[in-house]
Structure 1
Amino acid sequence: MYTGNLSNLILNSDSYKTSHWAQYPSGSEYLSSYIEARKGDYDVVFFGLQAFIKEYLSTPITHQDIDEAEMVIQAHGLTFNRAGWERLVDKHGGYLPLRIEAVPEGSIVPVSNVVCQVINTDPEFYWLPSYIETALLRAIWYPSTVASVSHYCKGIIRQALEKSADSSDSLTFRLHDFGARGASSQESVALGSLAHLVNFAGTDSMTALVAASRWYRMDKDMPAFSIPAAEHSTMTAWGRDGETAAFANMLTQFGGAGKSVSVVSDSYDLWNAIDNIWGGCLKDEVQNMGGTLVIRPDSGEPAKVVREALERLAVKFGTTINSKGYKVLPDYVRIIQGDGISPNTLGSIIDVVLKAGFSADNITFGMGGGLLQQVNRDTMSWAMKASAICIDGVWKDIYKDPVTSRSKRSKKGRLALINQTQGQPKTIKLDDLSTTDNLLRDVYVDGKLLIDDSLTTIRERAGW
């Protein structure tokens, strides 16, 4: 019985790719393809290529892989290039004869620019750059999109802190990753949550910590942090009449000097919890525990709930006015809003908070599905397209230009990426590259990973 092998790279492709080796013109020798985000609301934060290379391209293809692929593909009703794959194993030891070049991970590049380019290094394997499109494009578009969304949100929060807070030092802890349970797979969590850590240092996705150690050299032992936090099961287990005791237990178990504890407080009546429990019978404990209570609403219209929660906390605990003229709760009480957060709602909530006179310093955000799951390849219109082919020693530009959709027009020729005089990256033809440095650098050549960046280095590029 066939049990399947998900690590077989030959089968990590679209079915229709299996016949493409026979579709190129006679005399084909080299094919150059590129990856770009064609459009979108966010600048590209490039991330994830190193993880893909380490996980999938560092292990050679074997004759056993070829046997398995032939069985599956022919039973699937398609042709199989057995001779080509056997030649790859015999001639190159199973490693892909490819050159993959890309911008450094963590680089911020405007949309509609090349961020990765692939070409075969052996003319016998002109069909290979296109064959790996499915796996390579997927490996780049998803983590790069998450990193781009996260970076965009970071900009919104940064602006709010600069406008309304005395300090922006806490910026990297202001957007916490709540997305692990809502992601489509553990590998999605590993890639997506790790992409978020390019910009922030708060996560509840422990898979991202494992992924950081596995794929990106760790200059520090721990790239992200979390705090003890309640969920509804641990609060409602005490019963409605025991909510005060449940809250008090959280302070007893996890409170203390310099410590933070998050308590979901909307199991029954958020306003009662704020007015009569946190700001009533447990007020002294909150004030004197020595750390910070982070109250978490988890239902209702986010902007409205956050504003009213802040106003009620201000009545119970008071506020001070900071140097920017905004109200700030005492250091021992804050709010985290983790329900209904997306790039759009984040900005709306902050606008409401600031208009009510409160500093953004009072609130932290958690983001789940809006961070890891509510993105797809069309979010930034990612594509990998062939742009040049060498036939019988002559290079030729190739491209698509559909009359029915000008937005899908592809780029021509072998490409390079340069910094313009004003510092903005721009895609040009490689033939037009003179003394200006090409921002695309070799990352993988013939089975070897040439760049092994640490997460710290990538964070610095992304403006950490």
Structure 2
Amino acid sequence: MTNIILATDSYKQSHFLQYPPQARMISAYGESRHNDFSDEILFLGLQPFLIDYLGTPISQADIDEAALICGAHGVPFNRDGWLAILTDHGGYLPLEISALPEGTIVPSGVPMYQVRNTDPRMPWLTTFIETALLRAVWYPTTVATLSWKCRQIIAAGLAQTSDDAAGQLPFKLHDFGARGVSSGESAALGGMAHLVNFSGTDTLEGIMAARRYYGADMPGFSIPAAEHSTMTSWGKAGEEAAYANMLDAFDGEGALVAVVSDSWDLDNAVENIWGGSLKEKVLARKGTLVVRPDSGDPVETPARTLAKLWEIFGGTVNSKGFRVLDDKVRVIQGDGMNINSIGKLIDRLIEDGFAIDNIAFGMGGGLLQSVNRDTLRFAMKANAMQDDAGRWHDVSKKPATDPSKASKAGRQAVVLEQGRMVAKRLDAVGDDANLLMPVWKDGELLVRHDFADIRERAANA
């Protein structure tokens, strides 16, 4: 979909005939309404939309295509309005967007962005882009928020058990979600969102998105790793040889290699191969073997694997009194990991006396796909209309059947009160105190966020 005239709900094509005749400008805002998942939201994803969508002017061909589609589809088409955008604005949508800095941790119920049309002939344009703009923001913001909440849980476990919590944290949650999402664009935006909080990923599209849209250099890293096909192709009788090949092929000072070890019998692989026939080979290597269970109970199985590796390979007890495996072996658990099971596994390992240094976590579809717009209850709503005399009028809704869907009236500002962001009417606070700053106007990107700055905002919130 490259024609932004068609990147909307069908019914919005008729809205140019529905606003009051005195309407000249419409203001609308986007927020995460109060929800059950998180009271704090990591805002991300507006800049890619500005660059790829609003940064591409419409063409005569786009207008002709949209006219044809809408006519056959059964909805009106605003040809005059779109021709005016092409002729008078060079194809760029006459819009101004103000937003909080991306990477900001925003309380739910506080606007992250606000939009208005800049051409008074086009009050319909502000809400026309709701569909494309909302989906551009809700998905990476929701994934970033989920990843950020996982980071908090893991950080707390490391703080309690590790002598190197800060050094360990960036690689403790690995993104394996590329195959579990609905599209390559989802992999790019979701994978990029995870990289705000962690540096471990196998989603190359996420790396490319962070580089393209936010100027990142190399924001994510991975290691050589086995999958079941590369292990089972050796046959059950060749399991030991398959493992030995991994140890030989990927050794080096400080190198890690992950080997899935449950193709037949995980406990046998840990006790009799890694800890038996290949034990001396593991200990003689320069690098580290990462054993990966990939089936069974997501808490019990990795806890049992770690305990058995300790029994075989031993290790040290750190200054906080927790056991750390010999640096030649570690564990990664990806199967069945989500925000709840990660917390349970951390609690279990702490109960067993193990530092969280010993394990890394992986998430796939649970990170990039098991979210939707209602996870954080995202909405974009009109909040004000300017008439032909230049006066602003409040616009809002307050449904009796669901008061939680009430929208904000009047153009919005975001201000700090006792160090916390709150929403206020713009006419009550003035522009100076408003944290919603213009980032886009009439085809021009006014602010370009850097990925390193986004990471810093999120980490220091």
Q: Shorter-chain TM-score: what band?
A: over 0.9
Distance 1:339 1:47 in 2: 27
Give the deviation of 1:274 after TM superposition: 0.5
Q: Quick one: which amino acid aligns to residue 10 of structure 2? A: S
Distance 1:332 1:101 in 2: 51
Deviations 1:402-456 (A, max 9, x none): 11111111111100111112x1111111011148621111111000011111111
SS in 2 for 1:124: coil
Q: Is residue 2:5 matched to residue 1:23?
A: no
SS in 1 for 2:24: strand
Give the deviation of 1:227 after TM superposition: 0.2
**Structure 2 partner of 1:207:** 205
Q: Quick one: which amino acid aligns to residue 310 of structure 2? A: A
User: Could you tell me the TM-score, scaled by structure 1's length?
Assistant: 0.97
Q: Quick one: which amino acid aligns to residue 413 of structure 1? A: G
Distance 2:329 2:433 in 1: 51
SS in 1 for 2:201: coil
Distance 1:34 1:158 in 2: 33
- Mark the runs of 5 or more structure 1 residues left unpaired by the alignment: 1-5
**Structure 1 partner of 2:88:** 91
**Structure 1 partner of 2:32:** 37
Stretch of structure 1 that moved more, 447-456 or 140-149: 447-456
In the alignment, is the contact (CA less than 8 A) between 1:217 and 1:452 conserved in 2? Answer: no
**Structure 1 partner of 2:289:** 293
Q: Is residue 2:355 matched to residue 1:359?
A: yes
Q: Quick one: which amino acid aligns to residue 7 of structure 2? A: N
Residue from 66, 70, 76 that aligns with 2:67: 70
Q: Quick one: which amino acid aligns to residue 12 of structure 1? A: A
Residue from 9, 14, 23 that aligns with 1:14: 9
SS in 2 for 1:411: coil
> 1:144-155 to 2 correspondence within 5 Å?
144-155=141-152
**Structure 1 partner of 2:186:** 188
Q: Quick one: which amino acid aligns to residue 36 of structure 1? A: E
Give the deviation of 1:333 after TM superposition: 0.6
Q: Quick one: which amino acid aligns to residue 112 of structure 2? A: V
**Structure 2 partner of 1:273:** 269
Give the deviation of 1:386 after TM superposition: 0.4
Distance 1:117 1:427 in 2: 12
**Structure 2 partner of 1:458:** 454
In the alignment, is the contact (CA less than 8 A) between 2:211 and 2:218 conserved in 1? Answer: no
Q: Is residue 2:120 matched to residue 1:123?
A: yes
**Structure 2 partner of 1:110:** 107
SS in 2 for 1:28: coil
- Mark the runs of 5 or more structure 2 residues left unpaired by the alignment: none
**Structure 1 partner of 2:196:** 198
Give the deviation of 1:364 after TM superposition: 0.3
> 1:136-147 to 2 correspondence within 5 Å?
136-147=133-144
Give the deviation of 1:305 after TM superposition: 0.4
Q: Quick one: which amino acid aligns to residue 414 of structure 1? A: R
Give the deviation of 1:457 after TM superposition: 1.2
Structure 1's consecutive aligned runs of 4 or more residues displaced over 6 angstroms after TM superposition are none
Residue from 241, 254, 272 that aligns with 2:237: 241
Q: Quick one: which amino acid aligns to residue 190 of structure 1? A: A
Deviations 1:309-366 (A, max 9, x none): 1111111011321111111111111100001111111111111111111111111001
Deviations 1:204-227 (A, max 9, x none): 011112212221113xx3111000
**Structure 2 partner of 1:226:** 222
**Structure 1 partner of 2:396:** 399
Residue from 330, 334, 337 that aligns with 2:333: 337
In the alignment, is the contact (CA less than 8 A) between 2:315 and 2:327 conserved in 1? Answer: no
In the alignment, is the contact (CA less than 8 A) between 1:306 and 1:353 conserved in 2? Answer: no
SS in 1 for 2:62: helix
Deviations 1:154-195 (A, max 9, x none): 000000000011111120110000000001000000000001
Q: Quick one: which amino acid aligns to residue 345 of structure 1? A: S
Residue from 368, 372, 378 that aligns with 2:368: 372
**Structure 1 partner of 2:315:** 319
Q: Quick one: which amino acid aligns to residue 403 of structure 1? A: A
**How many residue pairs were aligned?**
456
Q: Quick one: which amino acid aligns to residue 179 of structure 1? A: G
SS in 1 for 2:401: coil
Q: Quick one: which amino acid aligns to residue 213 of structure 1? A: R
Q: Quick one: which amino acid aligns to residue 79 of structure 2? A: R
Distance 1:419 1:371 in 2: 31
SS in 1 for 2:29: strand
Kindly report the root-mean-square deviation, in angstroms, between the aligned alpha carbons of the 2 structures: 1.0
Q: Quick one: which amino acid aligns to residue 61 of structure 2? A: Q
Q: Quick one: which amino acid aligns to residue 347 of structure 2? A: D
Residue from 425, 446, 449 that aligns with 2:442: 446
**Structure 1 partner of 2:384:** 388
Distance 2:343 2:187 in 1: 25
Residue from 55, 58, 63 that aligns with 1:58: 55
In the alignment, is the contact (CA less than 8 A) between 1:48 and 1:143 conserved in 2? Answer: yes
SS in 2 for 1:170: helix
SS in 2 for 1:114: coil
SS in 1 for 2:27: strand
Q: Is residue 2:161 matched to residue 1:164?
A: yes
User: Could you tell me the TM-score, scaled by structure 2's length?
Assistant: 0.97
SS in 2 for 1:432: helix
Q: Quick one: which amino acid aligns to residue 178 of structure 1? A: F
Distance 2:314 2:211 in 1: 44
**Structure 2 partner of 1:3:** none
- Percent identity over paired residues: 54
Q: Quick one: which amino acid aligns to residue 87 of structure 1? A: A
Distance 1:391 1:206 in 2: 48
Distance 2:109 2:317 in 1: 45
